[in-house]
């Protein structure tokens, strides 16, 4: 491995640890089981999508340290959001015979994530003004 990659890997790992710990904290604060709606996973995925949209515009508009995006975008937001837990939640809902809720949750998660990212981009562009 090239020594120039070590700082990038270090900030991704540090950011991922922070994001994952924050997600775990929210999951503890908003637990769910069986047929219950997985609020904590939905909240982290939607807020992570929104913040990724914001970050995309900020990094594009403002010169930043080369490690900022790997730390925040890949690390923190990558650790904060969780596609695998979303799919485990869907499987849990199906196993609890809440198939309609599983489908609704999947749809809200995927469409909501796309809309949240778009909203973050549009909002940040408006707040920062023209280039």
Q: Determine, yes or no, domain membership for 24.
A: yes
| Total number of domains in the chain | 1
Listed as ranges, residues in the chain with pLDDT below 70 are 1
Q: Determine, yes or no, domain membership for 121.
A: yes
The SS3 assignment for 102 reads helix
The pLDDT, as a whole number, for residue 131 is 80
Q: Six-digit token pair at 26?
A: 């929210």
The pLDDT, as a whole number, for residue 130 is 84
124 has binding-site annotation: no
Q: Determine, yes or no, domain membership for 131.
A: no
Q: Is 70 exposed, middle or buried (0-12, 13-18, 19+ CB in 10 A)?
A: buried
The pLDDT, as a whole number, for residue 100 is 97
Query: Can you tell me the distance from the alpha carbon of 19 to that of 87, in angstroms, rounded to the nearest whole number?
Result: 19
Q: Determine, yes or no, domain membership for 96.
A: yes
Residue 65 contacts by C-beta under 8 Å, 6 or more apart in sequence? none
Q: Determine, yes or no, domain membership for 39.
A: yes
Q: Six-digit token pair at 49?
A: 């999508």
Phi, psi (deg, nearest 5) at residue 36: -70, 150
Structural domain boundaries enclosing 27: 2-126
78 has binding-site annotation: yes
Let me know: does 44 contact 26? Beta carbons within 8 Å: yes
Q: Determine, yes or no, domain membership for 102.
A: yes
The pLDDT, as a whole number, for residue 104 is 98
Whether the model pTM is above 0.85: yes
The pLDDT, as a whole number, for residue 80 is 97
Residue 82 contacts by C-beta under 8 Å, 6 or more apart in sequence? 23, 41, 44, 45
Q: Determine, yes or no, domain membership for 23.
A: yes
Query: Can you tell me the distance from the alpha carbon of 105 to that of 97, in angstroms, rounded to the nearest whole number?
Result: 14
The pLDDT, as a whole number, for residue 1 is 67
Q: How is the chain split among helix, strand and coil, in percent rounded to 5?
A: 80, 0, 20
Q: Determine, yes or no, domain membership for 38.
A: yes
């Amino acid at each position: 491995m090239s020594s120039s990659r070590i700082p990038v890997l270090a900030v991704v790992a540090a950011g991922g640890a922070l994001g994952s710990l924050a997600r775990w904290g929210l999951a503890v604060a908003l637990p769910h089981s069986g047929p219950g709606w997985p609020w904590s996973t939905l909240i982290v995925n939607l807020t992570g999508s929104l913040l990724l949209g914001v970050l995309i515009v900020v990094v594009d508009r403002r010169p930043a340290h080369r490690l900022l995006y790997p730390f925040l975008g890949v690390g923190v937001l990558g650790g904060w959001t969780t596609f695998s837990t979303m799919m485990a939640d869907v499987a849990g809902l199906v196993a609890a015979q809440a198939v309609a809720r599983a489908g609704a949750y999947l749809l809200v998660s995927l469409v909501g994530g796309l809309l949240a990212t778009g909203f973050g981009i549009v909002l940040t562009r408006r707040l920062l003004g023209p280039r």
